[in-house]
């Protein structure tokens, strides 16, 4: 059962989303007899000028026709977008609507902590940087947080690379000059990538995803991006996207020059393999590579699993849920231990909030 302080937070959050306090209690009343179960989420697709169609071919997504899809928002609770449940008695309700039933604790100001995406970069994204929590609180009129994020490479064409951080000695003035004479790439670290690589991108780190890459992104629940450079790209009407050069220069960490991949920690359990990818103040992400049954525990808040490859059955006290490559599943607080039974060898990205 939710504590009263959690009720208050959720009511504040509902007001922010213009749905109202009474609806929250109505939802809880209507679903109070539904025991927690694994919730498969419907993806929300985002058209992007740099996007492609590989989320369909690589992850089985049913994309809208004839548009470049750059992002699939797998889990989101935001004013503009809310994930919808695809399976079971709660199908058709938003994840936000059912979270209160299961006692999910948001941040102190009422935000859900994480946003999960798949990203397809058919072309190179803009050179960009994200602010930290403190900068957002001081300079942005928003309910968003800062943005620390993780990338796990699902697919990389030969020669693919990312931009990660600045070269040593690059200054604010050097970036200004490079923007003027269109030589910004000379200030940036280019890092070759292959399938299975993982990178943590702290707030303040200049970065971009290069063409030919498909990845999973786990991030703080923020949509604040400051673009430094967008390769002089224009849309069909000849319009370029907005740049945010002054804010970007304000938040760049000029000492962020580390280009190393994550040093992973791997544990073998029989035929299964668990690799800790990222353990940061906001979330923990693990890669599970399984060919036999494994039991998992849901922490006090929630777990998220995204099926990167394979097909499996999630067994819990009240039944089972089948999940396939490309599915993202939310396991709410209050869920009992669950069992993952792969039909074929499977790869799962598992994330827990902090």
Q: Which residues are catalytic?
A: 227
For residues 308 and 349, is the Cβ–Cβ distance under 8 A?
yes
Task: Look up residue 151 and give its two tokens.
Answer: 């990338």
Task: Look up residue 47 and give its two tokens.
Answer: 């058209």
Calpha distance 98→40 (Å, rounded): 13
Q: Is 174 helix (H, G, I), strand (E, B) or coil?
A: helix
Calculate the alpha carbon distances from 59 to 26, 66, 195, 324 in Å. Answer: 36, 18, 14, 9
Calpha distance 98→10 (Å, rounded): 11
Q: Is 28 helix (H, G, I), strand (E, B) or coil?
A: helix
For residues 245 and 206, is the Cβ–Cβ distance under 8 A?
no
Angle subtended at Cα 324 by Cα 322 and Cα 327, rounded to the nearest 5 degrees:
100
For residues 93 and 40, is the Cβ–Cβ distance under 8 A?
no
Task: Look up residue 313 and give its two tokens.
Answer: 């059955």
DSSP states of 7-24: HHHHHHHHHHTT--HHHH
Calpha distance 70→233 (Å, rounded): 15
For residues 296 and 303, is the Cβ–Cβ distance under 8 A?
yes
92: CB partners within 8 A, 6+ apart: 84, 85
């Amino acid at each position: 059962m939710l504590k009263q302080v959690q009720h208050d937070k959720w009511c504040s959050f509902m007001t922010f989303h213009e749905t109202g306090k009474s609806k929250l209690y109505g939802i809880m009343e209507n679903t109070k007899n539904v025991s927690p179960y694994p919730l498969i989420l419907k993806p929300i697709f985002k058209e992007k000028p740099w996007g492609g169609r590989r989320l369909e071919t690589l992850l089985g997504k049913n994309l809208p026709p004839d548009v470049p899809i750059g992002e699939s928002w797998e889990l989101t609770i935001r004013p503009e977008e809310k994930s919808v449940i695809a399976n079971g008695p709660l199908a058709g309700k938003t994840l936000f609507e059912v979270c209160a039933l299961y006692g999910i604790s948001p941040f102190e100001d009422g935000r859900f902590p994480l946003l999960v995406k798949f990203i397809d970069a058919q072309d190179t994204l803009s050179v960009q940087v994200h602010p930290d929590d403190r900068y957002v609180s001081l300079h942005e009129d928003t309910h968003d947080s800062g943005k620390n994020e993780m990338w796990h490479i699902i697919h990389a064409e030969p020669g693919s690379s990312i931009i990660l951080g600045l070269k040593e000695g690059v200054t604010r003035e050097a970036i200004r000059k490079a923007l003027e004479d269109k030589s910004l790439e000379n200030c940036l670290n280019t890092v070759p990538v292959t399938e299975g690589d993982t990178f943590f991108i702290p707030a303040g780190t200049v970065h971009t995803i290069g063409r030919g890459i498909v990845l999973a992104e786990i991030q703080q629940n923020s949509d604040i991006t400051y673009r430094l450079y967008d390769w002089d790209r224009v849309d069909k009407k000849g319009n370029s996207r907005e740049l945010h050069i002054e804010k970007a220069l304000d938040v760049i960490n000029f000492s962020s020059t580390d280009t190393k991949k994550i040093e992973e920690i791997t544990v073998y359990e029989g035929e299964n393999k668990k690799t800790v990818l990222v353990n940061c103040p906001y979330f923990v992400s693990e890669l599970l590579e399984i060919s036999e049954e494994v039991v998992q525990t849901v922490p006090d808040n929630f777990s998220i699993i995204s099926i990167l490859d394979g097909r499996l059955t999630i067994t819990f006290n009240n039944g089972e849920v089948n999940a396939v490559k490309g599915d993202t599943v939310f396991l709410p607080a209050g869920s009992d231990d669950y069992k993952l039974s792969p039909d074929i060898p499977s790869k799962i990205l598992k994330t827990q909030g902090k």
